[in-house]
Structure 1
């Protein structure tokens, strides 16, 4: 499978971004449990234009992250793995299984409790970390596997975005929402009219973000909407969609996601941290990410292939699909992001973040070892 220049750039930036995220997370965890912790927390709570720095990162900068995800999804739909229905069914079915099973497992442990709102936490996959771990496997990783994991993770993130929009909107202000959607509709019209000045879309996108922010719907949704409003054209290097996506790779991988990690992994690990593993939400997150993800991905792809709806690429086999399923259990960025929306109790948020890190670390180790150890044996 021939990889496009833009996909290769995307893969390389996410690969390096995964390593930076790991370093930032380790630094944040260490400093949060030293005598410097209070000063470190004060940095993220520093007021800036009536909001904390943490708020600007989670509601502002992360909208740019979702803009890049939206552009990548758009490219996959028009010119990539999702452009042909039969090819798209494989990652789509895997992503659906990888969302449904973790959600059901979480609900199994938390149904009827105050933490059942965390059902979306184990549903998403962290693209940067997952591709970063896959890159450590070696040069023998087939291109189709990289594309499959990327498409699956992007669809996962889209699913998480839909969950955020539908289930984590507590108070809705219709006037602001309608203004934001009206701007979006206006941009779609400009798209149809073949208006290709990028600045128009970006300026309008800022206003769309502002009104979405004040509508009650999480403002990061704006990023995905704006991505699909920006003209894709023929997808070549001269299009504004291509140029914007190429430009965003490095700022997102090297600035935005590291800032998110530094800010949101400031976790205090108390002396009774072992007891966190017995909480209902902890069990739901752990089993959802570590077991639910690979189980759902493998089962759904297996069913669709056996039904004749799609087929495995020639250079893939079931042990590689299982390995990818394990790597998809690395929730990190999106899981932490949904945790911030799902829970209000600071202690639960802190503990849930810690469990997400543990579950993601275990999934990464299992996935890595699976690729390194299970060479040569057939599974199906």
Structure 2
């Protein structure tokens, strides 16, 4: 989740076209409306969608990437359950309700369609030497090495500084295996790659997508092996 949010911030900072001041003002007014709905404790989804749709259009027309509109909208949907609803049976916040409701659509429809439309790699003109091209090699290195080093290092710093502690029964090898799995990057990696290399035309022949698929596969394979071995040894020891 935080990795995706960071990617969206990168998109907003480095892949923003010319800005439209009028659209930004309209977006700011709509965001203020969302804040008012949140403060008033409005829990009707329609109220947020009525503002969310024009907010998406305003952000799209502003020059800032429209993905930020979804992030902003989600930030203002109430997470807490209203006090008047605390006495009802199994109360659920609006944000969690929408999360659970939209999850099947996102997991089984939106994400597969996105991956199918953006992950297609033609192998016709690719060769083994293409794997050592700077573009796929850099992406594979970033996904496989960059993620595991960054995630594990931040975990180590958090533990050393005393601001966090590993979950009960979880050691550093388990954290390392999880850090390896963090190198699996499909949706946002493809998204940023399409923005970063859209000016390249056919010069890269899909090498950026090739690198993402290879880096994700290697990260997933190594993460699986590490966790399988570590958890298997722990099970035998007990």
Alpha-carbon shift at residue 349 of structure 1 (Å)? 7.0
1:365 aligns with 2:221: yes
Does the Cα contact within 8 Å between 2:147 and 2:180 map onto a contact in 1? Answer: yes
Gaps of 5+ in 1: 1-153
| CA root-mean-square deviation | 1.8
Q: Is the 8 A contact 2:148 2:182 kept in 1?
A: yes
**Which residue is equivalent to 1:346?**
201
Cα deviation, 1:350-371, whole Å, max 9, x if unaligned, reads 2101110011011111111111
SS at match of 2:63: coil
Q: Does 1 or 2 have the higher relative contact order (CA < 8 Å, sep 6+)?
A: 1
1:162 alignment counterpart: 9
Unaligned runs of 5+ in 2: 83-89
After TM superposition, the score normalised by the length of structure 2 is 0.88
Distance 1:194 1:304, change over 3 A: closer
Q: Which residue of 2 aligns with 1:269?
A: 123
Instruction: State the partner residue of 1:107.
Output: none
Any conservation in 1 of the 2:136–2:210 contact (CA below 8 Å)?
Answer: no
**Structure 1 residues 326 and 204, CA gap change in structure 2 (3 angstroms):** same
Tell whether the 8 Å contact from 2:135 to 2:211 is kept in structure 1 after alignment. Answer: no
- Corresponding residue for residue 175 of structure 1: 22
Kindly name which structure, 1 or 2, has the bigger radius of gyration based on alpha carbons.
2
- 2: CA distance, partners of 1:166 / 1:371: 36
Among 40, 54, 79, the residue aligned to 1:232: 79
| Deviation (angstroms), 1:190 | 1.8
- Structure 1 outlier segments of 4+, above 6 Å: none
Q: Does 1:253 align with 2:107?
A: yes
**Structure 1 segment 14-93 matched on structure 2, within 5 A:** none
Indicate if the aligned counterparts of 2:135 and 2:207 stay in contact, CA closer than 8 A. no
Rounded Cα–Cα distance in structure 1 between residues aligned with 2:205 and 2:24: 28
Following the alignment from structure 1 to structure 2, what is the Cα–Cα distance between the partners of residues 313 and 202? 37
8 Å contact from structure 2 (residues 59, 65) kept in 1: yes
Aligned to 1:288: 142
User: How big is the shift at 1:187?
Assistant: 1.0
Match of 2:44 in 1: 197
Shift of 1:239: 2.9
Deviation, structure 1 residue 242: 2.2
Distance in 1 between the 2:33 and 2:222 partners? 47
Would you say the 8 A contact 1:340–1:349 is kept in 2? no
Residue of structure 2 in register with 1:298 after alignment: 152
Decide whether aligned partners of structure 1 residues 169 and 319 sit closer, same or farther in structure 2, where only a CA change above 3 A counts.
same
- Structure 1 length-normalised TM: 0.56
Residue 238 (structure 1) shift: 3.6
Whether the 8 Å contact between 2:139 and 2:212 is mirrored in structure 1 is: yes
